[in-house]
Amino acid sequence: MRLLWHVEPAMFRENPLSVKAWLGWIVQEIRASRAVGAPLKQGLVASQPACRHVNGAIPGGLDYQRPVLQREVLATARFNRFAHARDLFDNTCNFLTNDTLLSAYHEAARDFDPDVIISFSENRYLKEAFPRAALLFAEFAPYGRMFTRPALFLDPSGHQHTGLLARRLPEMLSGPVSHGTLAALKRLWGTHFEEPTRAHSSGQRLAEWLSEKAAGRKVVLFALQPTDWMTYEGAYETIPLSGLVMRWGAALPGGWAACVTCHPHQRLTTEAAGLIGEEFPNIFVAPPDLGAGVSELLLPHVDAVAAVSSSVGAQAALWGKPVAAYGESSLCGFGYWRLEDLDGAKGLNDTERLLLLRFLTHRYCHPLDRLQFEGGYLNGFLEQWRQAGWSHDFFFDQDAWDPEAAENLLRPAPPKAAAPAAPAPSPGGPHPARKTRVLLLNETGVLHHAGCLGVTDAHRRMIAARNAELSDEVDAFEVKRHFDRLFRAHPFKDEPEWFDRAANFLGGDDCLGPLIDRADAVAVNGEGSIHHGAGMPYLALLLAAHRKGRRTALVNALLQQVPDAARHPLSMLTRISHHN
């Protein structure tokens, strides 16, 4: 079987390097597949830097690659990323035809002839250029993430407004279902969503704050996203967050108030939030310590949700809340409720909510750690789908739903057992059996700053000079994503116990845990990250590695005004290399 990965050659976000997380997943999956001899040839269509990164990170390189120049792709839209994104969505601007993309895709179809393509974004040209190939669109699973195992959905229809949730939701919510299946789904919902959400200490504080602000009014949650995210800018419009909040707030019917929460990657400024609250008495913005990255904790306590494409919208549907979907995203399947019509809007009933959960936990969503690290998992799933004729109905075979498999999908994976430590070096030098494997965290070369590139190159050279090799690298963006999850679960406290909790959380992470397990040593690049109270999760990561029996090193670090409790993880380090 031939699998072609597709990572958009010209990104529509302000930071094109945000694709680095996707590239890391691709690298890990290819390594795992090759380690077990899975019969899967894998190629990549992406930008030149992306192809170079992935090809260089895989022993033996990719089976096929087709680099595409971002400059040539954007030239069709006169270098307007917004127009380029709308063209990919085929939303309202059909007057563009990107011949550069089509030419690259046709070449890949001819030279690699993939059986299946996995894309991390909506792209109308893929279906045209690869008529023989099956398509899958991947993104984080649309249910709650705070208490569940990280997962991706694999959608055969589309990434957003052309996906199954938008186009075939009624089929998910209909059909016969046994009392036993409903009971099993209800247990899953209670165990992994409702109970931990209601019991979370931050959720209780949020509920109290919300009740005080609402003052007896119904509340709609405005779940915001960064303004340059693909479904915001590509399928909706360009508008500042503050403008969007005011537009939505002005549309609310009487007796309703709006609670605004922001994505951790972009928040309203304190000044903007203050001005909005002064001029719109029915809008209140959650304070930074309560309202960034914890929107799902508010879902039991609000009456509706408004969003463009945020997964909080799909989570709201699972809670039975009406969803006001703006733009063209997967949320459109839950209804085109307008904010002006909230008084008459309805959410899914109890049975429909459980049937939606059944669909999501069947063949639609998959554990991220299994996709990355379990060689043969992805190949096995694709082979099953091929035997079903690449039919979209394969995802609707609900009679095959397995409650145990659903439980394993949702339940956070237990911490992995530590791999055996590397043999100790002999007195005369390194152990002759193999090189020491080093996991490097906070690799900053992705920033493409000259200094960061130099530091990354120096670290790689120093590791090689010590008869060692990189087992894995985790870049600054990917590390931050895991730290965001940590802070949602365990807000920082200047006490040793916080570092213990954080080390357990990060060491048991489905992605970071296996990376630590297969390394002999773990090094953190502390470049500009650990000072004035910042960067404490890096120290917790090193503490987690120490407890797994790994040698630990903090390098290139400026240690200045760190919290007192940081002495706890610092005392466990094998080596510290810092600037005074």
Q: What percentage of the chain has pLDDT greater than the value 70?
A: 88
- Greatest mean pLDDT range, 74-88, 379-393, 479-493, 564-578: 379-393
- Residue 91: predicted pLDDT: 52
pLDDT at 187: 97
Give residue 287's pLDDT.
Answer: 73
Tell me which fold the domain 2-167+368-391 belongs to: Rossmann fold (3.40.50)
* Digit-coded pLDDT (tens) for 447-482: 555 577 677 778 888 888 888 888 888 877 778 778
User: Tokens representing 464?
Assistant: 């090689």
Coil, strand or helix at 339: helix
Say if CB 524 and CB 542 are below 8 A apart: yes
Local confidence band at 423 (pLDDT 50, 70, 90 cut-offs): very low
Within this chain, domains 193-350 and 436-579 share the same CATH topology: yes
Mean local confidence (pLDDT), 118-146 = 93
- Mean pLDDT confidence for 539-561: 86
What's the CA gap between 50 and 56, in Å, rounded? 10
Residue length of the chain: 580
What average pLDDT does the segment 357-380 reach? 94
Least confident of 93-102, 218-227, 231-240, 556-565: 231-240
Mean pLDDT (the chain) is: 85
* Three-state DSSP class for residue 3: strand
Report how far residue 482's alpha carbon sits from residue 150's, in angstroms, rounded to the nearest whole number: 10
- Rounded CA-CA distance 299/93 in Å is 35
- pLDDT of the residue at 126: 95
Distance of alpha carbon 295 from alpha carbon 323, whole angstroms: 14
Q: What one-character DSSP code corresponds to residue 307?
A: E
Distance CA 144, CA 282 (A): 27
**Amino acid letter, residue 246:** M
Q: Which one is predicted more confidently, 174 or 189?
A: 189
Is 436-579 a CATH 2.30.30 domain? no
Q: Is the pLDDT of residue 417 over 50?
A: no
- Which residue, chain included where needed, has tokens 């302000």? 14
Q: Determine phi and psi for 473, rounding to 5 degrees.
A: -125, 140
Any residues with CB less than 8 A from the CB of 397 and at least 6 apart, and which? 362, 363
Please, what sign has the CA dihedral across residues 9, 14, 17, 22? negative
Looking at residue 233, what is its pLDDT? 57
Please report, for residues 166, 298, 344, 474, the alpha-carbon distance to residue 420 in angstroms, rounded to integers and kept in the order given: 47, 43, 61, 22
Q: Which is it for strands 283-285 and 304-307: parallel, antiparallel or unpaired?
A: unpaired
What pLDDT does 494 receive?
Answer: 85
CATH of domain 193-350: 3.40.50
pLDDT tens, position by position, 48-69: 989 998 998 898 999 999 999 9
Q: Report d(CA 297, CA 199) in Å as an integer.
A: 10
The amino acid at residue 132 is R
- For the chain, the structural domain boundaries read 2-167+368-391, 193-350, 436-579
pLDDT at 500 over 90: no
The tokens describing 317, both together, are: 């549907």
- 8 A C-beta contact, residue 204 and residue 196: no
Please tell me which residue, 178 or 266, carries the higher pLDDT value: 178
Residue 295 has pLDDT above 60, yes or no: yes
Among the listed ranges 67-81, 425-439, 455-469, 475-489, which one has the minimum average pLDDT value? 425-439
